[in-house]
Amino acid sequence: MTIDLLVSGGDVLTVDEAGTVVRDGAVAVHEGEILAVGPAADVTARFTAAESVDATGCLVLPGLINTHTHLAMTLLRGRADDVTLQGFLERVLTWETELLGPRNVAAAVRLAVAESIRAGVTSALDMYWFHEAAEQTAREAGWRLHTGPTFMDVPEPPDGMPYEKRLDWARRDLAARGGARGGTRPVLFAHSTYALAPDQLVEIAALAREFGALLHVHAAENATEVATVEVKYGKRPVELLDSLGLLGPDLLLAHAVDLTGPEIAALARTGTSVAHCPVSNLKLGCGVAPVPRLLSAGVTVGLGTDGAVSSNTLDVLGAVRQAALIHKAGGDPTAVGAEQAVRMATIEGARALGLGDHLGSLEAGKRADLIVLDLGAPHLRPLHDPWSTLAYAAHSADVRDTVVDGRVLMRNRTLGTLDEDAALSVLEALV
């Protein structure tokens, strides 16, 4: 059988339930789908490929999934450093009103997509204004973007659309998309419990459920936010979401740093997932999310970078390292292990998005989002344990090839679907 793509010769870290590693393995891909994963000798005997990637001396693994970001914030990278979350929000909201529009968002997202492809990130959940421009830009590059309408009840939204008109606009957007397909699903973004009133959150959640959409909300990012919401509504953010009936398997919370025991139990009881953003949480002085307790309770936890203005990079592999390290500070070196951290960036991230049957591991029937990591550098040798190498030694610059939906977007560290120099030039002209 002739197939579209064959990746062979390297060790394949499948990230399946058993944690299978195929030495000298291969991945066969056709029409964006993984047809087979196994020993190279067996797979290459079964298929003839129109295109091939020689992964000899490399590690092949699922593409990394960024479960919380604001891609177009590359436009503001470095402009809000060393401030609290609340100080950060005050600055950024003003700049967004001044700077944002479809063209600027497209330019900023183009740079973000280039950065992400280079870092082995094959898809991201992106909450931001002018999502249509972001989506078109990602589509042109062949990159997987999960996005949709964003709700934030502020006096002067960058797109000029008041809340009262946003529900109808969002309904039209969701209707035009249709339902979930392949490695994507419809998404709605409700910014937070402090930027939207309870009745607004209920309306947005009802719309999300009407279309089977994922609902993504910032919640409990720091103690000040929690106190602000508690004073205003008499409940902490997660308590408020629970009382409104919003917790559930189609809700993904960003950050979830300041949580109580009962709140963690509520997340577990309802099947609500969390996007852990260790780098931005540390940088903004928010604290450290109780990830070991969340995992022990059975909560699905993915990894996010947040925007490039609060974390300064879109490096999910860097977030893997932080997640594997910071939770050990309490004295337990097993709090979040290397394998768990890598899973959070792959299969657990896919599950957090409700796409675990399509993304996050290299298994037959799933979409072919994968990366090839070059093991030739001194800091990666010897390779005793691929999980540990990824979590504690690898850098995003070690990623050599990136494949999304069976299409090679980067080969030998050269981008093939996006003009990186042009993207840089356009963005530099804006700032």
Instruction: Please write the tens of the pLDDT for every residue from 111-144.
Output: 999 999 999 999 999 999 999 999 999 999 999 9
Residue whose tokens read 């097993």: 334
Question: Phi, psi (5° rounding) for residue 212?
Answer: 65, 35
Question: Phi, psi (5° rounding) for residue 391?
Answer: -75, -35
SS (H, E, C) the chain: CEEEEEEECCEEECCCCCCCEECCEEEEEECCEEEEEEEHHHHHHHCEEEEEEECCCEEEEECEEEEEECHHHHHHCCCCCCCCHHHHHHHHHHHHHHHCCHHHHHHHHHHHHHHHHHCCEEEEEECCCCHHHHHHHHHHHCCEEECCCEECCCCCCCCCCCHHHHHHHHHHHHHHHCCCECCECCEEEEEECCCCCHHHHHHHHHHHHHCCCEEEEEECCCHHHHHHHHHHHCCCHHHHHHHCCCCCCCEEEEECCCCCHHHHHHHHHHCCEEEECHHHHHHCCCCCCCHHHHHHHCCCEEECCCCCCCCCCCCHHHHHHHHHHHHHHHCCCCCCCHHHHHHHCCHHHHHHCCCCCCCCCCCCCCECCEEEEECCCHHHCCCCCHHHHHHHHCCHHHEEEEEECCEEEEECCEECCCCHHHHHHHHHHHC
In the prediction, which pLDDT does 89 show? 80
In the prediction, which pLDDT does 97 show? 78
Angle of helix 131-141 relative to helix 102-118, nearest 10 degrees, comes to: 40
In the prediction, which pLDDT does 426 show? 80
Q: Which residues of the chain have pLDDT under 70?
A: 431
| Structural contact between residues 46 and 65, judged by C-beta atoms closer than 8 angstroms | no
Which has the closest alpha carbon to 61: 343, 318, 357, 322? 343
- What's the CA gap between 122 and 145, in Å, rounded? 9
- What's the CA gap between 190 and 178, in Å, rounded? 20
| Structural contact between residues 216 and 256, judged by C-beta atoms closer than 8 angstroms | no
In the prediction, which pLDDT does 374 show? 98
